Each structure stands twice: as C-alpha cells, then as structure tokens.
Amino acid sequence: MIFREAQKDDIKQLMEVRLAVKENTLSNPSLVTEADYYNYLFNRGKGWVCMVQDRVAGFSIVDLTEKNVWALFVHPDFAAKGIGKKLHDCMLHWYFGQEQDDIWLGTTPNTRAAKFYALQGWKETGLHGTKEIKFELSFKDWKIRQAGS
C-alpha cells in the first residue's frame, strides 16, 4: 500500500470508489462530477489516496473553504485494513497544519463511518441537513489525540 496526495489522473478511480461503497451512498451520482472532484482537490482543499498496485483502494478529501471533510471512502474490497484511519490521519495532519479552526463532517447515522469517527475522537454535535449527523473535531482534541498516539 502506498499513501500519497491525490492527482488529477486519479479522479476517475476516486469516482469509482465513491460509487462502490455500500453505506453513505449518493442518492444521485450524476450530481457529483469530475469537475467537483477537481475543485475540491485543487481549489478548495487537498486529497490523498491509498494505492494498491495501480488501483485506488481509498481516498480522502478535505475542504478548507467550508472547513469540512468532503470525502473519506474505502472501496469495500479493501475494508478493515487500516486504510481509512491512515487516510483520515493524513488529511487531518495537513488540515490542522493549515487551520486551527474546528473541522466538521456529516455522515449517515448508525453506520460504520459514524462509529469510525466517534472512535477517532470526533464529537457528535447534532444534525447536518435532515438525514445526516454532524461531527466536529477541534484542533485541541486533535493535538491531544496525536500526543496519545
């Protein structure tokens, strides 16, 4: 496994991973375009991929504009191998090197993702929209977590 920053040539595979997940699926996949991925990767924030041979096994993207996690997904073929945690940590290490503001994300309740974020120290703070729960992580809590690692 190789972890590196996402590149423009990765976008098609990022989209494939996003469509392959079994939880937190897109209600209308055509609404998230290649241009959206490009914008979040290179104008609004940054992303990382986990490569297994020439295949994207998972990816994460953080948005500095909205101070949130835009995406963190692992292809089901590569689940439960530590990829999500490593991508999470790469993303947050970079984010908190740029910002000290809280970061947030929304995810579907009662999913593996919701449990994952709670285990990583994120605090549930209410609802995001009508179908997702909102989690937040502060710079202070991130630093405490890093010191304990």
User: How many folded domains does the chain comprise?
Assistant: 1
Ordered per-residue pLDDT tens for the chain, 149 residues: 999 999 999 999 999 999 998 887 677 778 889 999 999 999 999 999 999 999 999 999 999 999 999 999 999 999 999 999 999 999 999 999 999 999 999 999 999 999 999 999 999 999 887 789 999 999 999 998 888 76
CA–CA gap between residue 28 and residue 92 (Å, rounded): 28
Return the H-helix or E-strand segment holding 38.
helix 34-39
Nearest to 11 by CA among 45, 40, 44: 40
Write the DSSP symbol of residue 27: S
For residue 116, give the H/E element and its range. Answer: helix 112-119
pTM above 0.85, yes or no: yes
For 55: left if phi > 0, alpha if psi spans -120 to 50, otherwise beta; the answer is beta
Distances (CA, A) of 41 to 48, 81, 141: 9, 24, 25
CATH number (domain holding residue 83): 3.40.630.30
19 lies in which domain range? 2-148
